[in-house]
Copies of this chain bind each other. A is one copy, B any other.
């Protein structure tokens, strides 16, 4: 019974609505996972800044979380603005990472890599972008990678 209720509850939004109106969580041992009844596509990311050109092997200097559904949250310093930005960009992160045209940066090679991993509106995200040096990172067009 519990399995059936959950199976329905996890389906499409329409199915979940139906299931939720038709069924209550059986009062068995163990709390119902809070996310099981979500009616939105999940959006949750981990953003990192890594020293060097390779996110897989470099030292992770900083990492924050960003959740955008049902409401902005996480340890990112500006979650609401960051969520708005990713939404406006249709989850294409290159324009947000690219250094702004106004940025005046030197060209020494001291690479820094940013990454975004997780889920955006139910679709998996795996993104990385390498800056030639920290100046580019300090001058990204968006604020997503400003933490």
A contact residues vs B (CB 8 Å cutoff): 2-3, 6-7, 10, 30, 33-36, 38, 41-46, 48-49, 51, 55-56, 59-67, 73-75, 77, 110, 117-119, 122-124, 133-135, 138, 146-147
> When the two chains form their complex, are residues B119 and A51 in contact, meaning their CB atoms are under 8 A apart?
no
Copies of the chain in the assembly: 2
Which secondary structure characterizes the binding site on chain A? mixed
Residues of B within 8 A of A64 (CB): 35, 42, 44, 67
- Residue of A43, A51, A119 with most chain B CB atoms under a 10 A cut-off: A119
Bound Cα distance from A65 to B18, whole angstroms? 27
A10 and B51 contact, Cβ closer than 8 Å, known pairs A3-B133, A118-B117: yes
Closest partner residue, chain B, to A36 (CB atom): B62
